[in-house]
Chain A
Amino acid sequence: MTRMVLARLRQAVPVVLGVATLVFLLIHMVPGDPVDAMLGESAVAIDKAELRHELKLDRPLLSQYAEFMTGIARGDLGVSFRTREPVAREILSRFPATLLLASASLAIALMIAVPLGIAAALRPRSWVDLLCGTSAMLGLSMPNFVIGPLLVLLFSIQLGVFPVSGYGGWRHLVLPALTLGSGMSAILMRMLRSSLLEEVGQEYVRTAIAKGMSATRAVVRHALPNALIPVATVLGLQFGALLAGSVITETIFSWPGIGRLMVQAIEARDYPLVQGCVLFVALLTVSVNLLVDLLYARLDPRIRHE
């Protein structure tokens, strides 16, 4: 187990380095100038040159790249051009908001997907299944920038239950989490349904029912655990994506998370902050995937990481 974790971590190193290189190249090649973003147009040429020199932007790209990489090796992500705060602090100040939203969305997605997925699998082609399938299609095809405002209209404006936007107590969390969670639940529900249906047809379920267990119980106790493996894979991927910050949902609900930070950084051509954000997200994705792999072993004892 430990060996497997270590091996996976070793594999992650080239991935992270590759991501770092790619984002470095991309952000430096995109048109737009951080010096202009900082000094404004009216700055005189000599000040711009001075600042460019101080930020080391006048050096060859290769030497900037070397500096960036050695910084990473030391665990130093640099200082944001725009706010003059250390990049790591900027990211960590925004990450709790993203983590909170991602966890809440996941919880909501599971709360919707698991019961509905089971219900649909218990009676395939029944009206329950049809209803679930239709609403899943709807949930999948409705983008977050449509669901978000619709939820606000219903719950904030009509019912006056939750605040429209912002960050604060649990009330603020409900609508953005519902927006993200509903879309996610649609995929999970369909996944769980098809994976359960496959299991339900197996002999061991039939045996359980033949021995007098109720169908619901047989499905929940015996088929469900075996059906969870593909669901866990999708879940891990989606959770990883959520941790990267959902740009659209965070913007709609003025949620101060990583996604918005990254967009602002890109707009300001804040190179260190963009690089830091992408790197952080890459690390998170790798870790979440590792966790999912570890979860497999718990879900299916036949899977051993030797």
Chain B
Amino acid sequence: MPVQSRKWTRIPALLGLLALVALAGPGCRQKLPVDEGTVVIALSGAPSALDPRIATDAYSEQLLQMTHAGLLRRDPGGDLVPDLASSRESRSPTEFVFRLRPGIRFHDGRELTSKDVRYTFEWILDPKNRSPHKAAFDKIVGIETPDRLTVRFRLREPFAPFAAEMTRGIVPVNTAARGYAPPIGAGPFRVEDVEPGDSVTLARFDGYFGGRPAVSRVVVKFIPDSTLRFLELKMGSVNFVLNGIDPEMLPEIAKNGNLVIEEAPGSNASYLGYNLKDRFLSDARVRRAIAMAIDRDAIVRTLWKGKADKADSILAPGFWAHEAGLPEIPFDLRQAKRLLDEAGYRDPDGDGPAVRFTLTYKTSQNALRLRIATAIQDQLRKAGVGLDVRSYEWGTFFGDIKSGNFQLYGLTWVGLRDPDIFHLAFHSKMVPPSGANRNRYGNDEVDRLTEAGERETDRGKRKRIYARVQEILARDLPVFPLWINRNILVRDRRLAGFTITPDEDYSYIRFMTVSPPAPGAAR
């Protein structure tokens, strides 16, 4: 029996929601962070540690660029220049002497001396501290502090990449390592508040030796979802995102009157990796054919919306060790097919659906990478090569790449600081777990050259060594460098003065200024 009711039941929930909206309403046009001179940065992930001695992930390093200072730093062109040090000299290839600037203060007012420098590196080198950076400094046999402002490093053998590692942040003597209680530094901003997994608030350090930053407060939010980063920017609750906005959302950003898009060359090279132990891919002709069958221009134009530059090396063209005269591998389907025929893999039915052979292509779960893999799959099919695209959770994917359980894969080199990468990635002794020669490449000349490059301290000579290495790699093609993504900054119109460096250095936040709102401007 249906129950009859004359009175209609109200819907308190909806009313409750309306009440909430009404309650929150008056505050909705509240002041934006930019009105208070605050820069709000969105990073795509949370840092694992805010300690320069143990942090390795990109998010941690980016935060540390704002809070800590090292002996050296990189200028916008990527060259090493003194930072905490006022000068550096190398009396012999195994000895580096740094003079500190006098009067540098840590965030708590303590003076930074040579003892702090020695402590920081000795801490890293102490095995019981399990620092991931130990290997980078293991050529050090002694650190001496002849006086308060002088530090002398002695190395076991000449090691050119040593200077590039001297950008690591210095912490005060006797700083314990604790995850969420970050050690203080001598950088332009000090950590004011840490909300694990949510945000870090930085306040400017008035005693910063490089001059007080103009921005009084920097909030770094961790927002993993790219749509939400976009919406936060649109709202104005985030006003600075470097490389966190998907290319296809940029047109929408451009329509927003409060936001500005800036673009500059980047340094992270994406590449196609070949397994040289594979029965098809051990043949250089097959590797070249695959490279020639990939229409990089089309992928850059459509999937990256033009925000990438074709690569010819894993080093970016702006980097000092990049070799300029490398031959370009053109998109040439006819030549690709001819090379495959030559290698003995004839297409059974010409341009028909049957393939010469099928390869597995592994990639991470990133949606854009997966779309790129699908595009490559489609392009290779036109050359008669079948591609089986598989996407894995990162740990599994990376584990497979290192153990050699792959035929093709797509990856990106991030944070290349020194051409010594060629030793790590292409020396025959550097097959994982010893190094990062994931492709199982072996070439005597490359072995010899990359060893010499580590010992050679003269930059001109080093450049010539790595030019030769890049020529050999362009010929042998153990990896096919695809493209280098451009650095894209989306910022509030009123924030100015940031320099986009190829390696995304956040320390330039210290030069930013906030201009007052234009009269009558409304969001």
Contact = CB atoms under 8 A, between A and B. Distances in A.
B432 interface: yes
A166 B395 contact: no
A144 B357 CA distance: 42
Contacts of B56: 38-40
A62 interface: no
A54 B411 CA distance: 31
B396 A115 contact: no
A155 B23 CA distance: 13
B43 to A, nearest CB: 10
Interface in A103-148: 108, 111-112, 115-116, 118-119, 121-124, 128
26 contacts: A30-B396, A33-B399, A36-B399, A41-B436, A42-B136, A42-B435, A45-B433, A47-B127, A80-B179, A83-B48, A83-B179, A84-B54, A93-B196, A115-B13, A121-B3, A122-B5, A156-B235, A163-B235, A167-B195, A174-B20, A251-B225, A253-B228, A254-B222, A260-B224, A266-B395, A267-B394
Interface string B219-252: 0011111011001101101000000000000000
| Nearest 9 interchain pairs by C-beta | A32-B395, A256-B197, A83-B179, A31-B399, A111-B13, A160-B28, A112-B13, A256-B198, A215-B3
A282 interface: no
A201 B1 CA distance: 6
B11 A116 contact: yes
A120 to B, nearest CB: 10
A213 B136 CA distance: 82
Given A39-B132, A85-B178, 20 more contacts: A36-B433, A39-B56, A42-B135, A42-B436, A83-B49, A93-B180, A111-B16, A149-B231, A153-B231, A156-B231, A157-B231, A164-B228, A164-B235, A165-B223, A174-B24, A215-B4, A216-B9, A256-B198, A260-B224, A268-B48
Q: Which of A43, A112, A119, A159 has the most CB of B within 10 A?
A: A43
Q: Which of A93, A122, A261 has the most CB of B within 10 A?
A: A122
A174 B4 CA distance: 36
Q: Which of B3, B16, B234 has the most CB of A within 10 A?
A: B3
A152 interface: yes
Interface string B81-118: 00000000000000000000000000000000000000
Contacts of A201: 1
A50 interface: yes
A167 B235 CA distance: 16
A254 B16 contact: no
A190 interface: no
Contacts of B24: 161-162, 171, 174
Contacts of B48: 82-83, 268
B223 A38 contact: no
Contacts of A166: 198-199, 221
Contact of A115 (B11, B398, B399): B11
A84 B62 CA distance: 20
Given A162-B24, A166-B199, A216 B225 contact: no
A165 B135 contact: no
Interface in B51-83: 54, 56
B260 interface: no
B171 to A, nearest CB: 15
Contacts of A171: 24, 27
Contact of A40 (B132, B227, B394, B396): B132
A256 B5 contact: no
Contacts of B54: 84
A214 interface: yes
Majority DSSP secondary structure for residues of A touching B: helix
A44 B434 contact: yes
B21 A261 contact: no
Query: What size tier do the contact residues of chain A reach?
Result: 35 or more
Contacts of A16: none
Q: Which of A42, A93, A206, A268 has the most CB of B within 10 A?
A: A42
Contacts of B393: 267
Contacts of B29: 160
Nearest to A196: B3
A44 B135 contact: yes
A172 to B, nearest CB: 10
A164 B180 CA distance: 25
A48 B127 CA distance: 11
A48 B178 CA distance: 21
A242 interface: no
Given A42-B435, A83-B179, A201-B1, A47 B134 contact: yes
A58 B349 CA distance: 53
A119 B28 contact: no
Nearest to A165: B228
B235 A157 contact: yes
A264 interface: yes
A269 B396 CA distance: 10
Nearest to A83: B179
B132 A43 contact: yes
Contacts of A54: 130
A240 to B, nearest CB: 22
Contacts of B400: 31
B12 interface: yes
Contact of B2 (A39, A83, A124): A124
A267 B234 CA distance: 30
A167 B198 contact: yes
A218 B4 CA distance: 11
Interface in A205-255: 205-206, 209, 214-216, 218-219, 251-254
A45 B179 contact: no
A79 to B, nearest CB: 10
B473 interface: no
Contacts of B402: 36, 41
A164 B1 contact: no
A20 interface: no
B523 to A, nearest CB: 9
Contacts of B394: 267
A266 B432 CA distance: 22
B432 A41 contact: yes
B7 A38 contact: no
A123 B6 CA distance: 11
B352 to A, nearest CB: 38
A256 B136 CA distance: 33
Contacts of A9: none
Contacts of A111: 12-13, 16
Interface string B423-450: 0100000001111100000000000000
B376 to A, nearest CB: 24
Interface string B371-411: 00000000000000000000001111011101000000000
B248 to A, nearest CB: 15
Contacts of B13: 108, 111-112, 115-116
A293 to B, nearest CB: 28
A36 B399 CA distance: 9
A37 interface: yes
B396 A260 contact: no
Q: Which of A119, A155, A201, A254 has the most CB of B within 10 A?
A: A254
Contact of B195 (A112, A128, A256): A256
